[in-house]
């Protein structure tokens, strides 16, 4: 079989050359389409279910949220394991699927079960799915720095401006904020005043909920024109909160400021983010979508950050903490450097020992062609270019060069014997 193949190739050299050139060109196309990353993704196919119930202890979260969710999610096809974790005010359920399962198929199956599990959860508790990413999806970290700005202001800029802008970048699954203080209105109830006015805590909560909304009142036809009637009731500051009527005693309204103190403060924090011992920082983590090209995502994020920088307040700028593209570029540069070294070395060896330029050209073309053609199979199998795969190619270059030298030397020996 091998002899026939060699004989056919010798008698149809033009067809062989055209086929190899076409295969090499297709390999170049697949090389450009193959996602590039620094490290291989060996994480499990998993779907994270996140549930938040503020103010509840871990045991309450375990009994009323985590356990019902784990029980409802059992029985999903291709599930390998289900793990649940409960903490203060939060619940995490990790649904691990068998290897090779499509992530988005798995997410749809979990979402179907969540619609049934919702009935077993307490009112106003809504579980949500985590981002469609993997364990190596964190490709870029940044912080916001600016002299004269407090942590609450920086966090507000991150949550309400920067985060939404960067999430618009293609193949970005989520931008998770960290650090700083999340501003919130805090109502500190005075129990003695509640007792004095014969009010309950539920009455105060209901008054705040009902007074923070806009309502519609249809239209009024006046002089042939329709005027929209609206009730504007959204709270816009501490003063609006203080003037919320909680109850009416006779003809005198009891306002919120009569029974409580309203102030601006920060949300409860479970930790801080420090950078190299130089103080607390505010920033975000860019999480890449499953199967995306990490290098292309990072480049797009950097371009978007340039546009976002123009809209930031004076003195605030981005500071890059972690950028995986540097490691990706180092891996690519390493394989390029190795390839050039191998080509030069093989050319010198063949020219010196065989003293034949055409033989050297055969070996020189074989090495890059074999490397490029290998990316066809990498792309077909769904892998990406990373340090492990590129290192394997770099090691294999030596084997390819050895084979080319041996075959060329053998061909020269047979030609010499025939002469």
Q: How many CA atoms lie within 13 A of 83 on its CB side?
A: 9
Q: CA Rg, the chain, in Å?
A: 33
47 close to 107: Cβ distance less than 8 angstroms = yes
Say how many CA atoms lie within 13 Å of 261 toward its Cβ: 7
Pairing between β-strand 45-52 and β-strand 317-323 as defined by DSSP bridges: unpaired
Q: What's the pLDDT score for residue 370?
A: 83
Does 41 score more than 70 pLDDT?
yes
- Average pLDDT of every residue of the chain: 85
207-221 in b/e form (b: 16+ CB < 10 A) is bbeebeeeeeeeeee
Q: Which of 57, 47, 136 is nearest to 91 (CA)?
A: 57
Measured distance CA(286)–CA(299) in Å, rounded: 12
More confident residue, 354 or 264: 264
Residue 247: phi, psi to the nearest 5?
-155, 175
**Which pLDDT value is given to residue 184?**
85
DSSP 92: E
The more confident residue out of 298 and 250 is 298
Q: 397 vs 15, which has greater pLDDT? A: 15
| Helix pair 294-309, 325-353: axis angle to 10 deg | 130
CATH-assigned architecture of domain 2-33+328-418 = Up-down Bundle (1.20)
Share of the chain above pLDDT 70, in %: 100
Confidence (pLDDT) at 224: 80
Give the per-residue pLDDT at 107: 92
In CATH terms, the fold of domain 184-266 is: 3.30.2090
**pLDDT for position 419:** 65
Alpha-carbon separation of residue 50 from 28, 59, 103, 169 (angstroms): 42, 16, 17, 24
Per the listing, tokens 């009010």 go with 199
For residue 316, what pLDDT is reported?
92
pLDDT computed for residue 94 by the predictor:
94
**Poorest-pLDDT segment among 154-158, 245-249, 385-389:** 385-389
Residue whose token pair is 């959860």: 121
Query: Six-digit token pair at 46?
Result: 């998993």
Residues 49-67, mean pLDDT to the nearest whole number? 90
Where do we find the tokens 């103080």? 279
CB 91 within 8 A of CB 84: yes
Handedness of CA 178, 183, 185, 186 (dihedral sign): positive
pLDDT for the residue numbered 286: 93
* Average pLDDT value for residue range 407-411: 79
| Residue 135 vs residue 301, higher pLDDT | 301
44-133 against 136-182+273-323: fold identical: yes
Does 268 or 171 have the greater pLDDT score? 171
DSSP labels for 172-201?
EEEEEEESS--EEEEEEE-HHHHHHTT--H
pLDDT of 303 > 90? The answer is: yes
CA distances from 144 to 28, 157, 217, 255, 288 (A): 40, 9, 44, 40, 20
The class level of CATH for 136-182+273-323 reads: alpha beta
- Per-residue pLDDT band at 86 (split at 50, 70, 90): very high
Tell me which CATH code domain 44-133 carries: 3.30.70.1430
Helix (H) or strand (E) run with residue 49 in it: strand 45-52
What would the mean pLDDT of 194-205 be, rounded to a whole number?
89
Contact between 360 and 343 (Cβ < 8 Å)? no
8-17, 58-67, 241-250, 408-417 — most confident range? 58-67
Banded model confidence at residue 38, pLDDT cuts 50, 70, 90 = confident
For residues 63 and 370, what is the distance between their CA atoms, to the nearest angstrom? 58
Q: Domain locations in the chain?
A: 2-33+328-418, 44-133, 136-182+273-323, 184-266
CA nearest neighbour of 288 among 134, 97, 177: 134
In degrees rounded to 5, what are phi and psi of residue 331? -65, -40
Mean pLDDT of 264-268: 80
pLDDT tens digits along 382-391? 777 777 777 7
- What is the arrangement of strands in the sheet containing 282-288, beginning at the earlier edge strand? 172-178, 282-288, 138-145, 317-323
pLDDT at residue 346 tops 80:
no
Q: 288: which strand partners?
A: 172
Among the ranges given (45-59, 141-155, 336-350), the one the predictor scored with the smallest mean pLDDT: 336-350
Q: What is the pTM of this model?
A: 0.77
């Amino acid at each position: 079989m091998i002899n026939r193949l060699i004989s056919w190739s010798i008698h149809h050299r033009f067809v062989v050359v055209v086929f190899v050139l076409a295969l090499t060109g297709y390999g170049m196309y697949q090389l450009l389409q193959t996602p590039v990353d620094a490290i291989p993704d060996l994480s499990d196919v998993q779907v994270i279910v996140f549930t938040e119930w503020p103010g509840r202890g871990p045991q309450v979260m375990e009994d009323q949220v985590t356990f019902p969710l784990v029980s409802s999610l059992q029985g999903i096809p291709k599930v390998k394991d289900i793990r649940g974790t409960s903490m203060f005010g939060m619940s995490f359920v990790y649904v691990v699927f068998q290897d090779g399962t499509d992530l988005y198929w798995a997410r749809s199956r979990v979402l179907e079960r969540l619609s049934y599990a919702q009935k077993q959860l307490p009112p106003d508790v809504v579980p949500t799915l985590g981002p469609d990413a993997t364990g190596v999806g964190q490709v870029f970290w940044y912080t916001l720095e600016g002299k004269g700005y407090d942590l609450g202001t920086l966090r507000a800029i991150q949550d309400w401006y920067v985060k939404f802008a960067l999430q618009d970048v293609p193949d970005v699954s989520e931008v998770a904020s960290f650090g700083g203080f999340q501003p919130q209105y805090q109502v500190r109830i005075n129990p003695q005043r509640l007792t004095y006015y014969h009010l309950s805590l539920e009455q105060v909560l209901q008054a705040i909920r009902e007074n923070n909304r806009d309502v519609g009142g249809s239209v009024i036809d006046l002089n042939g024109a329709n005027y929209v009637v609206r009730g504007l009731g959204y709270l816009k500051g501490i003063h609006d909160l203080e003037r919320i009527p909680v109850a009416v005693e006779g003809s005198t309204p009891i306002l919120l400021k009569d029974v409580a103190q309203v102030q601006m403060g920060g949300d409860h924090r479970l930790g801080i983010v420090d950078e190299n011992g130089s103080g607390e920082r505010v920033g975000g983590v860019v999480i890449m979508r499953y199967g995306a090209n990490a290098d292309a995502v990072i480049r797009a994020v950097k371009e978007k950050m340039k546009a976002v920088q123009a809209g930031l307040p004076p003195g605030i700028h981005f500071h890059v903490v972690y950028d995986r593209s540097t490691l990706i570029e180092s891996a690519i540069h390493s394989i390029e450097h190795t390839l050039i070294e191998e080509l030069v070395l093989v050319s010198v060896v063949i020219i010196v020992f065989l003293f034949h330029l055409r033989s050297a050209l055969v070996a020189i073309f074989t090495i890059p062609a074999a490397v490029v053609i290998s990316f066809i199979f990498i792309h077909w199998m769904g892998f990406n270019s990373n340090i492990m795969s590129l290192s394997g190619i770099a090691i294999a270059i030596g084997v390819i060069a050895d084979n080319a030298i041996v075959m060329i030397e053998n061909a020269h020996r047979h030609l010499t014997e025939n002469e």
